[in-house]
Amino acid sequence: MADTGLWAFAVSAFLLVVASWNREPAAERREIAVFLFAGQSNMGGADAVVADPPGFQQTDADKATRFTTTRLPQVEGSPECLPWGKISGHRVSPTGKLVHGPEVGFARRLYQVGWRNVAIIKVYGNFARDVNRWPWGPRGTFYESWTTFTDARLSELKAEGYHYRVRAFVWHQGIDDAIHGRLASSYQDNLVRLIKELRRRYGDERTPFLLARSVNSSIARQMTGSGDEDPMAVVRRAQIAVGTSGPYTGWIDVDDLPNVKHHHFTAEGQLVIGTRFAEQFLALQGPPLEKE
């Protein structure tokens, strides 16, 4: 009788161990690292046309990464608003051609060094001709639609049982401020305030903010001047100042990459940009499996 009781105890203990084994991987699978991408046409992938054929050549990294995007200020229901899915390129107006932005190179580089369970939420948009205030700032039209879209996508992840953490903000924007001229002088202050607000809302003071210094746009320089104190130069200096302002901010250079349509990039160039963003993130953040 004692042997029977001991055997039952051993079986029960074994089943508890097996149950714990089954729970731990499931819990691990529900962790997801979120990256918030935002900017204007270069973030959207304008003119970064994917050759057709062969079309977008999906890799394991693309299939493993969750991706969603929209053009601002639209939030839901437009052809350019994509629900959660795998990275596979997306279509932009007015051409409707298949393009991609830096999300592809970024996701592939992180996957290469061991990151898994990654989600990217990307928004992009260009200023209206009559803009009279910075639309990306709190209470601005872009900020309101951006956060509405982001909050909805994060809620979807949560509803699916994910525990998410926003790991970084990735920013490619600034040419519009130079084109509109009067916004250039306040660019640095506006961006600093935005970073503070984003960290408060979605992360903390250590959440990395990564930016690309804008192309020295020929369109902006033709419109507002090409001198060292003219808007395009002012914005580019401000971007470096912000990108070097602390241990959790960084910037990448894209001046060496060839442009199309004045200040856009090819699909191949966007792969390089995404990889550079990822390298900057890794330099600031460290390996994926750190325990904090």
Q: Is the peptide bond before 288 cis (omega within 30 degrees of 0)?
A: no
Cβ 104 vs Cβ 272: under 8 Å: no
Cβ 66 vs Cβ 86: under 8 Å: yes
CA–CA distances in Å: residue 158 to residues 72, 116, 163, 165, 268: 23, 18, 6, 11, 34
**Which pLDDT tens digit goes with each residue over 110-164?**
999 999 999 999 999 999 988 989 999 998 999 999 999 999 999 999 999 999 9
**Which pLDDT tens digit goes with each residue over 44-66?**
999 999 988 888 999 999 999 99
Question: Percentage helix, strand, coil, to 5, in the chain?
Answer: 45, 20, 35
Burial environment of residue 230 by CB neighbours within 10 A (0 to 12, 13 to 18, 19 or more): middle
Q: Tell me the residue type at 266.
A: T
Q: Say which CATH superfamily domain 29-285 falls into.
A: SGNH hydrolase (3.40.50.1110)
**For residue 150, how many other CB atoms are within 10 A of its CB?**
23
Given this model, what pLDDT does residue 235 score? 98
Three-state SS for 263? coil
How far apart, in whole angstroms, are the C-alpha atoms of residue 225 and residue 213? 18
Given this model, what pLDDT does residue 5 score? 55
> What value does the mean pLDDT take over residues 200-228?
96
Q: What is the DSSP string of 200-216?
A: HHHS-TTS-EEEEPPP-
How far apart, in whole angstroms, are the C-alpha atoms of residue 48 and residue 91? 10
Three-state SS for 165? strand
Share of the chain above pLDDT 90, in %: 79
Given this model, what pLDDT does residue 53 score? 83
How far apart, in whole angstroms, are the C-alpha atoms of residue 251 and residue 244? 7
Label residue 213 by pLDDT band (50, 70, 90). very high
Average pLDDT, the chain: 90
**CA nearest neighbour of 231 among 173, 187, 171:** 187
Label residue 3 by pLDDT band (50, 70, 90). low
Cβ 120 vs Cβ 37: under 8 Å: yes
